[in-house]
């Protein structure tokens, strides 16, 4: 991770306000979300409902899992997909009772970023969470904790992408309808450091969100410390289909 990243970014999660301070709530935005995250992580780690043996479902090491992801992307770029050749009836039948994804992705909700296709994977192989701006909200972190602690995912990639509408909106900072501006706060650190450059901001945001996952969740931090998990940031180029590790 780039040491120049603003380390206070981990606390800037979705309070629902577009500004850096929650004047309307009478509290600083970092406090409540971080407490919620720590409580969530501790609760999941201690939960009696987590089958601990499930953590061994994937026999891959984190580096091997990452290589499998990147090899799949290389096939996608070369238009030499293997996943489309698999028997979907068999895959569906084998995944009714359980799933064994070896990797997880936090990607943008953008329709141009279909994670399974981008990494040439199929049913039951990739645990995907999606939200505009690929930001690590409390709910996203909970989902990825489930993927790592229960399903045994070995690598998590935060995947930014070219021409991200959420990033562009956050950089512009203009009034928007509904709750769209709730995305501004978690993107603020990247916007501040990206100097209004869309692609630089998108890449910085992926690194910041990966850092949040690595440090704000006791569950994920424990998996990393044990050598059972790796969290990385990536950038997907819409025009070439290539995923670049950041």
CATH code of the domain containing 70: 3.40.1050.10
Q: Is the pLDDT of residue 37 over 80?
A: no
Instruction: State the pLDDT at residue 94.
Output: 83
Identify whether 34 is part of a domain.
yes
Q: How is residue 194 written in tokens?
A: 């990206």
Identify whether 232 is part of a domain.
yes
Confirm if 234 and 68 have CB atoms less than 8 A apart. no
Identify whether 1 is part of a domain.
no
Instruction: State the pLDDT at residue 87.
Output: 81
Identify whether 199 is part of a domain.
yes
Identify whether 226 is part of a domain.
yes
Instruction: State the pLDDT at residue 220.
Output: 98
pLDDT, tens digit, 9 for 90 and up, residues 188-243: 999 999 998 999 999 999 999 999 999 999 999 999 999 999 999 999 999 999 99
Show the domain range for 171: 7-245
For the chain, what is the mean pLDDT?
83
Identify whether 116 is part of a domain.
yes
Identify whether 26 is part of a domain.
yes
Confirm if 198 and 163 have CB atoms less than 8 A apart. yes
Cα–Cα distances (Å) from 20 to 108, 184, 187, 210, 234, in that order, read 22, 9, 10, 20, 26
Identify whether 139 is part of a domain.
yes
Confirm if 41 and 219 have CB atoms less than 8 A apart. yes
The total number of structural domains that make up the chain: 1
């Amino acid at each position: 991770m780039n040491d120049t990243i603003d380390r206070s970014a981990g606390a800037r999660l979705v309070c629902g306000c577009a500004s850096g301070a929650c004047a309307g709530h009478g509290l600083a935005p970092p406090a409540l979300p971080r407490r919620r995250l720590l409580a969530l992580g501790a609760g999941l780690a201690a939960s009696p409902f987590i089958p601990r043996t499930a953590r061994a479902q994937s026999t891959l090491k984190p580096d091997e899992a990452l290589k499998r992801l990147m090899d799949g992307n290389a096939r996608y770029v070369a238009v030499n997909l293997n996943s489309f050749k698999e028997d979907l009836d068999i895959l569906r039948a084998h995944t009714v009772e359980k799933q064994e994804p070896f990797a997880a992705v936090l990607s943008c909700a953008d329709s141009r970023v279909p994670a399974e296709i981008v990494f040439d994977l199929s049913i039951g192989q990739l645990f995907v969470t999606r939200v505009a701006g690929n930001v690590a909200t409390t709910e996203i972190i909970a989902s990825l904790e489930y993927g790592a602690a229960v399903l045994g995912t070995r690598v998590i990639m935060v995947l930014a992408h070219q021409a991200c509408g959420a990033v562009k909106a956050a950089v512009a900072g203009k009034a928007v309808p509904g709750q769209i501006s709730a995305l501004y706060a978690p993107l603020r650190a990247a916007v501040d450091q990206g100097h209004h450059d869309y692609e630089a901001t998108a890449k910085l945001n992926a690194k910041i969100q990966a850092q949040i996952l690595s440090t704000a969740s006791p569950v994920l931090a424990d998996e990393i410390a044990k050598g059972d998990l790796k969290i990385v940031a990536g950038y997907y180029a819409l025009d070439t289909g290539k995923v670049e590790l950041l």
